[in-house]
Structure 1
Amino acid sequence: MKNYACTHCGNTVYFENVKCISCSKTLGFDPDELAVVTIEESGLSKVTPDAPIFRKLSSTPTDVPLRYCANAEFGVCNWLTHESESNAFCKACDLNRFIPNLSEPGSLQAWRALEQAKKRLVYSLLRFGLPFDEKASAKGALTFDFVSNALTGHQDGVVTINVNEADSVQRERQRQKFDEPYRSLLGHLRHESGHYYWMVLVEESGRLEEYRALFGDEREDYDAALTRHHSSGPLPDWQERFVSAYASSHPWEDWAETWAHYLHMVDALDTAAAEGMEGHGIRLDLRDDIYSSVTFDALMARWVPLTIAMNSLSRSMGHDDFYPFVIPGAAYDKLAFIHRVIHQGVKKPATKPAVAAKV
């Protein structure tokens, strides 16, 4: 994640900001520019009644009028959209199908946490140039359901997140129950989006044989595999072949776990570069675009020293490791495959039969 500067005063501003704390100017995230921009009111919206429209503080005559996403009303979104768009929602919020029931206590706070995590996921997808609209897959757009009393998972493009995952206490209980080294909302969203992009970048893009050579045959009975994993535990040699214990449960989960780790790596390295951080003599150069112009070997050469440094810092503060994983050689090859297919993009879409829900 990059850092940004207020156009008015030059103060550093961040991804979720709506006001510059130095000069109090209004801010919003422009998904077209992929940047937090400084804006000022310039009229009233015709799409969202009584809502203001804005222009960028450094606007030119060719700049289009902007307005906040309709969900800004609830304090859950700071993204901007064009006033000319008939859709009241931004590119990220438009992916929502169900949101938490706002009449229930704590639901607004949960939705805010869910949206903050989802915005970071969508930001990464935009940086990669990955498609997620209705044209991305034969099964439709990437879609989100944030609901109570549901199983977190993915099916045919729909990512379902149990609202309880936004409660840090409940999330920690689940982490301990499943003996996981870490558990986060952003981790969930990255993992579940991996199932969607398996459809887009593997199944529908003619890469199944390459995938199976590395991850295994996804036609293995999925429900039986997960039942075996939860009753008997991970494969005894999982640490030699997988990024996590859960990745060993089924080839679909191996892909989704590895996908999530790859997104963790890229976004963390991008943030480290923005902050001018170094790890064991490896300098993260601001001139590099971690999302597009760095080879996988170069990513790993930076990632390992950074995690060692960050783990040491976390321990110095009495916290658990920043990155509590070791990447074996087989998982390295899987991560490299994901790096390659992301940068090659969609090859040849084709309609495929429905598959079982994946968690």
Structure 2
Amino acid sequence: MSPAPIGSRMKLFACQNCSQTLFFENITCVRCGHWLGYLPDSTTMTSLEDEGDGRWRPLAAPDQMFRFCANAAHDACNWMVPLSSPHPYCKACRLNRTVPDLSVPANVEAWRKLEAAKHRLVYGLLRLGLPVAAKWEDAGIGLAFDFLADAPHHGPEAPKVMTGHADGLITINVAEADDAQREKVRRTMGEPYRTLLGHFRHEIGHFYWDRLVRDGTDSDGGDRLGTFREMFGDEREDYGEALARNYNEGPPTDWQTTFVSTYAASHPWEDFAETWAHYLHIVDTLETAHVHGLHLKPRNILDPTAPADVAIDFDAYRQRDFDSLIDAWLPLTYAVNSLNRSMGQPDLYPFVLAPRVIDKLRFVHDLIRQAA
């Protein structure tokens, strides 16, 4: 395994050996050289002592023994597996059903990017307390991933791998890991935002719609599916026709008053998945702002009633008060968008959260809190 570049994502951690700041994807400490591993059950990055024969003792839990996930051999995972576990793979990697052909060098690099995004996704799901079971463990409610590449050398008319979800199986086209290709599609589709992590968060929204909306009930016995239909629309609308209409005619002219994106306007299922993805964006970004100690003092001369001081002093993944999330999120987006413009970059969060969109985000928030 080779040291991964430092990136400022998600929680910050500290090396238990030398107190160096660590990040989610790191596999070695740049100061003391200790190997690092992530313990998903305790959401902790830990320095490791090599006990030989593939056994590692985490300094964060010295009374336990672990081994690296089998995918660490491909530089594709830094998560740990308890030595007593029968699984060769970690909680994130055991969700894989199909990985691309790793004899193709380009596929290896693409797969590593896919795994990095998927691990961030699973991190967030576990932090939210959502059920995450592999499909081979529970065929009825389990989750699986297929990472597939288009067949080579068959011309432009050959069938393409479609990114999507069906009955607990999420398929991601390996081409989405190609930054240039993804940007080309983003421009062609007229999307303001398209990321690999965004794909994972969107598709997992479809998965949890099945689990929590279609098959779920409110904690007070209410009609969750009925509430969904009142807010998002009737999902029994013909899906193929709805997508065709969206692609051929575009969204309604006033779509921003109701939907978070133009794609959300195509069908209630897509509206929910887009809203779900944005909720995960919000929570994860607020966690990053929190661990960096960000404190905002927005000066809104157009709205003197706006808060003059916004402290992101809470764990967004554990925050039960939805209004606190939104009250922090909106001024944070104003700030980061302005910073990006100062650097000549497009907005980091190029979306408008209208009141009806915020109500939909609240629905997702309440859904997750009940499930957790």
Both proteins in one fold, TM over 0.5: yes
Partner residue in 1 for 2:31? 22
CA distance in 1, matches of 2:245, 2:182: 23
CA shift, 1:338, in A, is 0.3
CA shift, 1:140, in A, is 3.0
| Structure 2 counterpart SS, 1:210 | helix
CA distance in 2, matches of 1:137, 1:90: 17
CA deviations on 1:215-269 (whole Å, 9 max, x unpaired) are: 0000000011001111111122211100111000000000000000000000000
Structure 1 residue 345 and structure 2 residue 371: aligned? Answer: yes
Structure 1 residue 36 and structure 2 residue 41: aligned? Answer: no
Q: Which runs of 5+ in 1 are unaligned?
A: 45-51, 347-359
Partner residue in 1 for 2:58? 56
| Structure 2 counterpart SS, 1:8 | coil
CA deviations on 1:165-209 (whole Å, 9 max, x unpaired) are: 000000011101110001000000000000000011101103201
CA distance in 2, matches of 1:58, 1:254: 41
Instruction: Calculate the TM-score normalised by the size of structure 1.
Output: 0.91
| Structure 2 counterpart SS, 1:220 | coil
CA deviations on 1:51-77 (whole Å, 9 max, x unpaired) are: x110112544xx321000000000010
Query: Partner letter of residue 130 of structure 1?
Result: L
Query: Partner letter of residue 172 of structure 2?
Result: I
2:320–2:369 Cα contact (<8 Å) kept: no
Structure 1 residue 291 and structure 2 residue 317: aligned? Answer: yes
Query: Partner letter of residue 16 of structure 2?
Result: T
Structure 1 residue 179 and structure 2 residue 190: aligned? Answer: yes
Query: Partner letter of residue 33 of structure 2?
Result: S
| Structure 2 counterpart SS, 1:172 | helix
Partner residue in 2 for 1:204? 215
Partner residue in 1 for 2:302? none
Partner residue in 2 for 1:222? 239
Q: How does 1:1-359 map to 2 (within 5 A)?
A: 1-44=10-53, 52-60=54-62, 63-134=63-134, 139-149=140-150, 150-206=161-217, 207-279=224-296, 280=298, 281-285=309-313, 288-345=314-371
CA distance in 1, matches of 2:112, 2:268: 33
CA distance in 2, matches of 1:317, 1:289: 29
| Structure 1 counterpart SS, 2:105 | coil
Q: Evaluate the alpha carbon distance shift between residue 54 and residue 98 of structure 1 in structure 2; reply closer, same or farther with a 3 A threshold.
A: same
CA shift, 1:95, in A, is 0.2
Query: Partner letter of residue 156 of structure 1?
Result: D
CA distance in 2, matches of 1:178, 1:93: 31
2:37–2:79 Cα contact (<8 Å) kept: yes
CA shift, 1:100, in A, is 1.4
CA shift, 1:328, in A, is 0.7
1:235–1:249 Cα contact (<8 Å) kept: no
CA deviations on 1:135-188 (whole Å, 9 max, x unpaired) are: 898733111111112101100011111000000000011101110001000000
Query: Partner letter of residue 93 of structure 1?
Result: C
The root-mean-square deviation of aligned C-alpha atoms, in Å, is: 1.4
CA distance in 1, matches of 2:273, 2:292: 29
| Structure 2 counterpart SS, 1:106 | helix
1:137–1:204 Cα contact (<8 Å) kept: no
1:137–1:199 Cα contact (<8 Å) kept: no
Identity %: 51
CA deviations on 1:264-305 (whole Å, 9 max, x unpaired) are: 0000000000111123231111xx221113411000000000
CA shift, 1:105, in A, is 3.4
Instruction: Calculate the TM-score normalised by the size of structure 2.
Output: 0.88
Query: Partner letter of residue 322 of structure 1?
Result: L
CA distance in 2, matches of 1:157, 1:318: 41
Q: How many residue pairs are counted as aligned between the two chains?
A: 335
Query: Partner letter of residue 177 of structure 1?
Result: T
| Structure 2 counterpart SS, 1:323 | coil
1:121–1:186 Cα contact (<8 Å) kept: yes
Query: Partner letter of residue 25 of structure 1?
Result: H
Query: Partner letter of residue 316 of structure 1?
Result: S
1:244–1:257 Cα contact (<8 Å) kept: yes
CA distance in 1, matches of 2:248, 2:138: 34
The higher relative CO (CA closer than 8 Å, separation ≥ 6) is in 1
1:26–1:38 Cα contact (<8 Å) kept: yes
